[in-house]
Amino acid sequence: MALLDVENLSISFGGLRAVDSFSVSIEKGQLYGLIGPNGAGKTTVFNLLTGVYAPDEGFIRLNGKDITRLKTIEINKEGIARTFQNIRLFKELSVLDNVKVGLHNRYKYSTIEGLLRLPHYFSVEKQMNERAMELLKVFDLDQQADYLASNLPYGKQRKLEIARALATDPILLLLDEPAAGMNPNETKELMETIRFVRDHFDMTILLIEHDMKLVSGICEELTVLNFGKILTQGKTSDVLNDPEVITAYLGE
Structural domain includes residue 152: yes
Total number of domains in the chain: 2
Residue 227, in any domain of the structure: yes
Select from 134, 169, 204 the last residue of a domain. Answer: 169
What pTM, to 2 d.p., does this model score? 0.90
Look up the domain containing 142 and give its range: 91-169
Query: What does the pLDDT read at residue 252?
Result: 44
CATH of the domain at 244: 3.40.50.300
Tens digit of each residue's pLDDT, the chain (252 residues): 899 999 999 999 998 999 999 999 999 999 999 999 888 999 999 999 999 999 999 999 999 999 999 999 999 999 999 999 889 999 899 999 999 988 877 656 555 555 555 565 667 778 888 999 999 999 999 999 999 999 999 989 999 999 999 999 999 999 999 998 888 888 898 899 999 999 999 999 999 998 888 999 999 999 999 999 999 999 999 998 877 776 665 554
Last residue of a domain, which of 113, 142, 169? 169
**Do the strands 204-208 and 229-235 form a parallel or antiparallel pair, or are they unpaired?**
unpaired
CA distances from 222 to 80, 112, 134, 193, 247 (A): 19, 49, 32, 20, 16
CA-to-CA distance for 87 and 157, rounded, in angstroms? 8
Decide the pairing of beta strands 229-235 and 221-226. Answer: antiparallel
| Cα gap 205→252, rounded to integer Å | 29
Give the model's pLDDT for residue 208. Answer: 95
Could you tell me if 38 and 9 lie in one domain? yes
Looking at the structure, tell me whether residues 56 and 111 fall in a common domain: no
